[in-house]
Amino acid sequence: MSDIPWEVLSTVIDTGDEEQKIELKERIDCSSRPGRAVFAKDAAAIANTGGGVGYIVVGVVDARHRTPDAAWMPGFQVPDPDEFHRQMGEAIERFIEPPFEVWYRQASYPGTGVGLGVVVIPVSQRRPHVVRNDEADLYVGQIFVRRGTRVAVASRQDVVEMCGDYWLPSVEDQKRTLLEVYRETDRDALDFKHIAESACRRLYHALPTKTRSKVVKEILRTFQREDLAQEWFREG
């Protein structure tokens, strides 16, 4: 299928060297409760990890488990991809809160004819995704991330960084509102500095300490007034 980014995945598939947002698996089992729990944990770890879109490539052995006498790309296909996709969604809803979206694609790896499955995990703005039901090594309240190429329990700092995403929609709304006022007001009659100062100061003090300076600077950059951040907040 043309929407599978083989140019992004091919190096990982060929070498077996996983990346933080790309995991390799020989197979995924969404037909049993334990299998669904394992999938939900792995997918949530990628969704919770910062960066771009994440992928789980199914039907490929990772470098740690490759041996000279065994095929490293056994392949993976299911008879009904739509049903498999539905099972994945059910697994996430069963074990993770809040749930998040994934997509399943199935196609032959270019140049080989070997069928692979690709789970696409879009960037999530609803992090952190937390375990909601116990199963095997999953316990209610756990939060997982990808630490390098491995799944790990999130640290406090990981959670702090994830929670910053909750402010993104609010920040975008504030930015749009400021831009509308700026564009629709007579430039000669606009005391922009006072309006922007009032709006940005309110937003600045409403945001978490870790993200406030970065967010306000981003808004001011939109208005080409980054110098105001230095004047108001003594930021370098």
DSSP string, 107-132: EEPTTT--EEEEEEE---SSPPPEE-
Say whether both 141 and 179 belong to one domain.
Answer: no
Q: What is the pLDDT of residues 161-210, one digit of tens each?
A: 887 765 666 666 677 777 777 676 665 555 555 666 667 767 766 677 66
Say whether both 136 and 41 belong to one domain.
Answer: yes
Q: Retrieve residue 92's tokens.
A: 């996430």
Query: How far is it, in rounded angstroms, from Cα 230 to Cα 103?
Result: 44
Q: What is the pLDDT of residues 220-236, one digit of tens each?
A: 777 667 677 666 666 44
The position carrying tokens 């329990």 is 153
Say whether both 133 and 211 belong to one domain.
Answer: no
Q: What is the pLDDT of residues 66-105, one digit of tens each?
A: 998 889 999 999 999 999 999 999 999 999 999 999 999 9
Say whether both 100 and 200 belong to one domain.
Answer: no
Q: What is the rounded average pLDDT for all residues in the chain?
A: 86
Say whether both 100 and 181 belong to one domain.
Answer: no
pLDDT at 236: 43
Predicted structure pTM score: 0.70
Say whether both 150 and 198 belong to one domain.
Answer: no
CATH code for the domain in which residue 91 is found: 3.30.950.30
The verdict on residue 135 lying in a domain is yes
Say whether both 150 and 170 belong to one domain.
Answer: no
Of the candidates 80, 73, 79, 72, the residue with the CA atom closest to the CA atom of residue 116? 73
Of the candidates 125, 164, 159, the residue with the CA atom closest to the CA atom of residue 145? 159
The verdict on residue 1 lying in a domain is no
The verdict on residue 84 lying in a domain is yes
221 lies in which domain range? 165-233
CB 43 within 8 A of CB 56: yes
Structural domains of the chain, count: 2
